Amino acid sequence: MATILIIDDSAFQRKIIRDIIEAESHNILEASDGKEGLEMIIDQKPDLILLDHTMPEKTGRELMNDIKNKEIDIPTIMITADIQEGSRQQSMDLGVKAFIGKPVNEEELKKLIRQYC
């Protein structure tokens, strides 16, 4: 059983993702922004991060940059409603393992969780 951290500013999106993860019997942590997410990454050391791309204060890409600078190696899946190819490549260069679109496809998310946990 893995510990998965959901970082998304939308409580509604976190609930949707949490429901999918709970069905897979994993432990769940949640953060509502990038700053809180970074603190949880450092303190809790989750096995997988599900990260929203667009958040106020600290975007998913900015958080990935922080993670890379701190040399933290945790598989991260970026979740986004829309992303330009250049932004996608920049995120991949920062260590994002995969992208999943919003609304989240349950089977696609489960497959990625199994792949990285």
pLDDT in tens, the chain (117 residues): 899 999 999 999 999 999 999 988 999 999 999 999 999 999 999 999 999 998 988 889 999 999 999 999 999 999 987 667 777 788 888 899 998 988 899 999 999 999 999
Q: Where are the domains of the chain?
A: 3-116
Cα distance between residue 52 and residue 7, in whole Å? 6
| pLDDT of amino acid 80 | 85
Q: Check if CATH label 3.40.50.2300 holds for domain 3-116.
A: yes
| pLDDT of amino acid 81 | 79
Is the overall model pTM greater than 0.85, yes or no? yes
Q: Output Rg (C-alpha) for the chain, integer angstroms.
A: 13
For residue 6, the surrounding DSSP H or E stretch is strand 3-7
For residue 79, the surrounding DSSP H or E stretch is strand 76-80
Q: Which amino acid is residue 42, in one-letter code?
A: I
| pLDDT of amino acid 94 | 86
Cα distance between residue 97 and residue 9, in whole Å? 21
